[in-house]
Chain A
Amino acid sequence: MRIAVASGKGGAGKTSVTASLASIWDTPLIVADADVEAPNLHLFLHPQIEEERYCGLDVPRLEITRCTQCGLCRDICTYKAIAAFAGRISIFPDMCHGCGGCFAVCSAGALERTQRELGILQRGTVLEGRVRFLMGRTRIGEAMTPPLLRQEHLFLQEMQAVLPADILLDAPPGVSCPAMTAARDVDVILLVADPTPFGFHDFRLAHQAFLPMHKDVRVVINRAGAADNAAGDAAVRAYCREHGLPLLAELPFERVAAEQYALGGLLVHLSEQWQQRFEALRDALRQPNVGATVAQRPQEAHHA
């Protein structure tokens, strides 16, 4: 089973949920951080890194002596990475998306493949070796994240081929290309909903973004029961009911939870009750999606 933990809004609690779920997963698991612009999972799971791979994107380099200045490479490049100034071809490798069109049309053999560094992938283990770990991290100044995410996905497949396991993916926030790229190869998307006005708005955007993928989308509310926000909690519940999204759990708003996170600790270690919440969430994730699931209501929601 492959699960992506996603959210529209950043800071909704993806990484907290992923780290705690990983720590109580009781079958073989690979946990992966796909938030390659701002990866954080390693800060909570402290991996032993065993392998690093630098990832690059094939971009063209002009061998000027062979170039006939025919301009075909410039014409096929949608991304304006190849331009002609005063009739001479120039290449801007930072703009290249790696589509390979220029190589395909250059009959003079004047373009050579070189690599632009995208970032790094790191493989290792976490939780005393019980769980395998993978993370990606973009190079600072690199604008494009989907190519690195695609290479991370291939690496994950490699790891799964070595030893089959469930996959838990900490997805990038938002609803545009990085989030979509990370989520398209999973079986279940677990949306972490923050019930504040901002969070609810972004949660709905995320749900709409994932709709065309026809995925099994399920929901966990994080920080339910905050003071003055009963209407926000109710709005998320109502949305889930209306759209047939199983609401698997509600994690309560508690100052101790925010502090635990700030100290780099796992929510699952806060108390027995927190551990039970995550065990229930794990078990609910394993159930086939048969329509609405009754969620557990937080019992200590007003401590904040």
Chain B
Amino acid sequence: MREIVVISGKGGTGKTTISAAFAYLAENKVICDLDVDAPDLHILLEPAIRERHDFISGHKAVIQQDVCVQCGQCANLCAFAAVQVKEGRHVVDELRCEGCGVCVALCPQKAIVFPDSHCGQWYVSDSRFGLMVHAQLFPGEENSGRLVSLLKTEARQRARAVGLGTILCDGSPGVGCPVISSLSGAGLAVGVVEPTPSGRHDFMRIADLCRHFRVPLAVIINKEDLNPAEAEAIAGLCAEQGHTLLGRLPFDPVVTTAMVCRKALTEFDNVVGNSLKDMWSALQALYPGK
């Protein structure tokens, strides 16, 4: 099974646009949106939801006021300063609670309950480009890494069940927990980089992360003409560090136009989409399916 993950470090460099363009071209695949925090791929792929599941992960502590004697032990123990005193009563600030359960276990009165936390939903859908596994973490919720792992496990199972050989994932920005989960088990990361100071800086962090987890990295330089010198420098870095440069794309308003029309760039004839077709071919050669 092939697992390809599109990542970027910095947000807004074109991950989802490129994921959708590849999703149109790829055959026998499951599409997976791992940006569970702010997923956007469904906007282009218009999935018809076939299965809807609750994502239950972790717990939140709740102090039962009728049992609590206001001893303050929980506040002393909480490493996250989530227990606060309001109008003489100890209450848990849900936004600060990390669900560790220390207060629950050690409350002398057993006054704290620990209900499951319903953090989001995940879906299996039929999209315009095929089977799609995606999710929506509820705004402000935690455990995005766990949700990413769950989506990947589901995508693998579904792919195996119906004999699909490729999993194509739209990753999340950053280098933290959801991205680390995205890279786990991936055979190739595609890094989308823009030639800006931020783009280069965050790309280098993502390259370090790929090295750390031993995932090969191929690179697409997006909006290269915004700063040709910087684009050259990034190409040089790729050569130096052994990352395959799949190609370069111009800064072109057709990208926004395609998004507004809810189309993938490879679905119609245009310069950017045609370059992306070449890059997809190059990627096939680099990481052939079985």
Could you list which residues of chain A lie within 8 angstroms of chain B, going by C-beta atoms? Answer: 8-12, 15, 37-38, 40, 43-44, 75-76, 78-79, 97-101, 104-105, 138, 140-146, 150, 172-178, 180, 184, 194, 196-198, 201-202, 205-206, 208-213, 226-229, 231-232, 255, 258-259, 261-264, 304
Contact = CB atoms under 8 A, between A and B. Distances in A.
Interface stretch (B83-91, B195-203, B274-282): B195-203
A42 to B, nearest CB: 9
Contacts, number: 193
A258 B139 contact: no
A75 to B, nearest CB: 8
Contact of B197 (A44, A175, A184, A197): A44
Given A198-B43, A258-B223, A100 B102 contact: yes
A100 B77 contact: yes
A10 B12 contact: yes
Contact of B173 (A38, A44, A198, A264): A38
Interface size classification for chain B: 35 or more
B106 interface: yes
A141 B212 contact: yes
Q: Taking chain B's interface residues, is the majority helix, strand, or loop, or is none over half, making it mixed?
A: loop
Contacts of A178: 174, 176
A101 B38 contact: no
A44 B198 CA distance: 9
Given A143-B177, A145-B177, 12 more contacts: A8-B38, A37-B173, A37-B179, A38-B175, A78-B58, A99-B100, A101-B77, A143-B145, A176-B142, A198-B259, A262-B196, A264-B196
B54 interface: no
A211 B138 CA distance: 12
Contacts of B11: 9-12, 38, 173
B253 A232 contact: no
A12 B106 contact: no
Given A140-B175, A258-B226, A209 B139 contact: yes
